[in-house]
Amino acid sequence: MEHPIFKKIENANKPDFGNILSKSFELFKKVWEQALYHVLISMVVVIPMIFIIYIPYILFVFSMTGRNSYDYYDSYGYYDSYGYYDQPDMTAYIPLFIIYILVVFVLIFVVQAIVFGITAHFFKVLKKEDMGTTEDVGGYFDLIKGNYKKLFGLSLASFGIALLATLACYLPIFYVMVPLQLLVAFYAFHPELSVSDIVKASFKLGNKFWLTIFGLVIISSMIAQLGVLLCIVGVFFTAYFVHIPMYYVYKDTIGFDNASGENTEHISS
């Protein structure tokens, strides 16, 4: 049986570009501090992954550079022209390279899944602040606990969709970027949905109002980067602004069922 969310998408109201952008600025004034916390927590997850990925590569490059330069000289310190040709067989390292690449991809998907869950928590915070409810949004990692397989699946799905779009002459990436931006919203408010249903719902809503949502994605992304002008550090405060219009797209088109004594389905203001 099809989930009721798909019926809501069919009956969804068209989002108002100007109204959503205006409301996003107002809500950002309330949640900028939480946005900063979510960015910093995401960085705590991402930065160790960067070190894990690049340190082995850097050590390998330095070890090979040092070895090669030493091989050019004989034991007396004179340049050995034959040493230039007596280099190690790089094909011996191919299995290591393959393992390294596989490990890197797995790490990227794992970290992306965690960041996905942290961002979903931010959507819960947006709902609470916007609607003024006393709803308990839980901890930053609550939407990760017990759902990691689903988050990992969403990470794989988003990567696969983006990769296919890029391989198809790159232009389709502009099309898929809209539904990909909606994945987090659907997961945050409907974690019971399967990975395929979340992807399907995101594409269905994204296709229906593609132009409006695409405009919001572009404008909000530009605004999110304005923090760079504030000594670069400011981007930590503005980075999560890009998610606020997506929250309002979800709210104004699908809405929320009766929760905490409120019914906000199809609210457009």
- How many Cβ atoms from other residues are within 10 Å of residue 82's Cβ? 9
Whether pLDDT at 264 is above 90: no
Digit-coded pLDDT (tens) for 139-187: 999 999 889 999 999 999 999 999 999 888 778 888 999 999 999 999 9
- Does residue 261 fall inside a structural domain? no
Domain extent, residue 111, equals 4-253
Residue 152 lies in a domain: yes
Task: Tell whether 236 is covered by a domain.
Answer: yes
For residue 21, give the nearest of 163, 217, 193 by alpha carbon.
217
Q: How confident is the model at residue 72 (pLDDT cuts 50, 70, 90)?
A: very low
pLDDT digits (tens, 9 = 90+) for 111-124: 999 999 999 999 99
CA 188 to chain centre: 13
- In order, the DSSP letters of 202-267 are HHHHHHHTHHHHHHHHHHHHHHHGGGGGTTTTTHHHHGGGGHHHHHHHHHHHT---SBTTB--TT-
Q: How confident is the model at residue 242 (pLDDT cuts 50, 70, 90)?
A: very high
Dihedral (CA of 37, 198, 168, 109) sign: positive
Cα–Cα nearest to 202, from 152, 263, 138, 246: 246
Please give the tally of structural domains in the chain: 1
Instruction: Please report whether residue 61 resides in a domain.
Output: yes
Question: What is the Rg, in whole angstroms, of the alpha carbon atoms belonging to the chain?
Answer: 24
Separation between Cα atoms, residue 8 and residue 13, nearest integer Å = 9
CB 138 within 8 A of CB 121: yes
pLDDT tens readout for residues 78-110: 444 444 444 555 677 788 888 989 999 999 999
Please choose, from the candidates 200, 246, 263, the residue with its C-alpha nearest in 3D space to the C-alpha of residue 21: 246
- The mean of the pLDDT values for the chain is 84
Diameter over CA atoms, the chain: 85
Q: Is residue 50 part of a domain?
A: yes
- Whether 267 has a pLDDT exceeding 70, the answer reads no
75 three-state secondary structure: coil
**Residue 225 — φ and ψ, nearest 5°?**
-90, -5
Q: Is residue 269 part of a domain?
A: no
Residue at 82 is within a domain: yes
Model-wide pTM > 0.85: no
CA distances (Å), origin 22, targets 72, 73, 85, 219, 245: 66, 69, 66, 12, 9
Does 215 fall in a domain? yes
